[in-house]
Amino acid sequence: MKFNIYKFCTIIAEKEITLSELSKRTKIDTANLSRYKRGQRNPGLKNIGKIAKALGIDAADLIEC
């Protein structure tokens, strides 16, 4: 399982959501969201679920098989 950075970046750009706003919605630190976006860290399943819920998408959309 790998976090799909491209899809993550595309969706937040399309929805015009800042990392700060996403942080408020998910309760995930902005620094960690930034690391996910840059590919420096991979979120766990719990955080992928939080991100997906906040973006209104299915968690599977953020995972590469």
**Which domains can be identified in the chain, with CATH numbers?**
2-57 (1.10.260.40)
Answer yes or no: is pLDDT of 1 > 90: no
Report the distance separating Cα 22 and Cα 15, nearest Å. Answer: 11
| pTM for the structure as a whole | 0.93
5-61 pLDDT, tens digit each: 999 999 999 999 999 999 999 999 999 999 999 999 999 999 999 999 999 999 999
The whole-number pLDDT of residue 9 equals 97
Maximum CA pair distance of the chain? 28
- Encoded tokens for 56: 């209104």
**Token representation of residue 59:** 């968690």
